[in-house]
Amino acid sequence: MWNLGTRDQIQPPSGRPRELVPVLLIWPFILSPFFLKMDAVECGSKYECLLFDMDDTLYPLSLGLNLACRLNIQDFMKHHLQIEESQVPHMCLELYREHGTTMAGLKALGFEFDNDEFHAYVHGRLPYENLKPDPVLRNLLLSMPQRKIIFTNADRAHAATVLGQLGLEDCFEGVICFETLNPPPEIHLEDSKQKLNIVCKPSLEAMEAAIKIANIDPKKTIFFDDSARNIAAAKEAGLNTVIVGSSNLVPGADVALSSIHNIKEALPAIWEGEDQSGRVLPSPTVETVVTA
Ligand SMILES: [Mg+2]
């Protein structure tokens, strides 16, 4: 079990043998800023690690969390930042497109607000009840011999709630989330300018940070995400890529699959060690627009 103190400082292994750390002991630490690493599982596949986006990748966009989140962000911009109501929808979208998340864009513009307050506001009123336990996905994940890690722009509280609602909380070795890539100022090693620079997908900086934190070989890792721009960034970082929720191969995607549930049909190589690049499973194309 490795404990990573910051994005740039890898701590030595603790005394406990890595292979003996049970998942349920790891779980309480998963959503902390400290990310825990276990050894890659020896398996026949050419892949050693699977890196999953969470929102609109592990569950469908149609469940409404993305839309609700966007409306909450717009409410925050109106009521907490006093941005003129008529400007909010366009500004929300433009900041998302330019900075990766609307939150990152607001910070870059100089708006000052507490990160935890923002996340609590935009995630606190989401229709989490729409997320139901997914035993099919759970069994698929548990049958995969590779390391499995969540990589989300969301905060740890949201990640914990979503994974708990889906019944997947013990299916992953760890979660790389907002707090992982943006640690509190007291443990920052860089200068104060960092406070305004939110690190998030789809920046190459975020991709490379995640690769470093998880200590993975991108050539032996598959990245799953519903966002075309995140897929493009992941490919630039050297990862194998799967666009989820799309019937079309977007730029940078090696594989397209309509639903994460189709993963075994689309990527038997995870289980068998076969190369499945270029496979496409038919599905309606849906593009995620705005999340926090
Ligand atoms: Mg997503």
Phi, psi (deg, nearest 5) at residue 193 = -60, -25
Q: 52: CA distance to ligand 1 center in Å?
A: 9
Domain ranges of the chain: 2-7+22-62+132-272, 64-124
Angle between helices 228-236 and 204-214 (to 10 degrees): 60
Residue 189: what pLDDT?
A: 52
Q: 159: CA distance to ligand 1 center in Å?
A: 12
Q: 230: CA distance to ligand 1 center in Å?
A: 9
Q: Which residues lie below 8 Å from residue 286, measured CB to CB, with a gap of 6+?
A: 61, 62, 226, 245, 246
Give pTM, 2 decimals: 0.79
Residue 197: what pLDDT?
A: 85
What digits encode the pLDDT tens for the residues 77-129? 999 999 999 999 999 999 999 999 999 999 999 999 999 999 999 998 899 99
CATH 1.10.150 fits 64-124, yes or no: yes
Q: 209: CA distance to ligand 1 center in Å?
A: 18
Q: Do domains 2-7+22-62+132-272 and 64-124 have the same CATH topology?
A: no
Is residue 151 helix, strand or coil?
A: strand
Q: 188: CA distance to ligand 1 center in Å?
A: 27
Q: 18: CA distance to ligand 1 center in Å?
A: 30
Residue recorded with tokens 């990310």? 35
**Superfamily of chain region 2-7+22-62+132-272:** HAD superfamily/HAD-like (3.40.50.1000)
Q: 113-119: which pairs have CB atoms within 8 A and are 24 or more residues apart? A: 113/80, 113/81, 115/155, 115/178, 115/182, 116/155, 117/80, 118/76, 118/292, 119/154, 119/155, 119/157, 119/158, 119/178, 119/292
The answer to whether the Cα torsion of 126, 132, 133, 134 is positive or negative is: negative
Q: 14: CA distance to ligand 1 center in Å?
A: 33
Residue 46: what pLDDT?
A: 87
Residue 291: what pLDDT?
A: 43
Q: 260: CA distance to ligand 1 center in Å?
A: 12
Q: 285: CA distance to ligand 1 center in Å?
A: 14
Residues of the chain with pLDDT under 70: 1-45, 186-196, 273-292
Distance (Å, whole) CA 116 – CA 238: 32
- HSE (side-chain half, CA atoms, 13 Å) at 243: 31
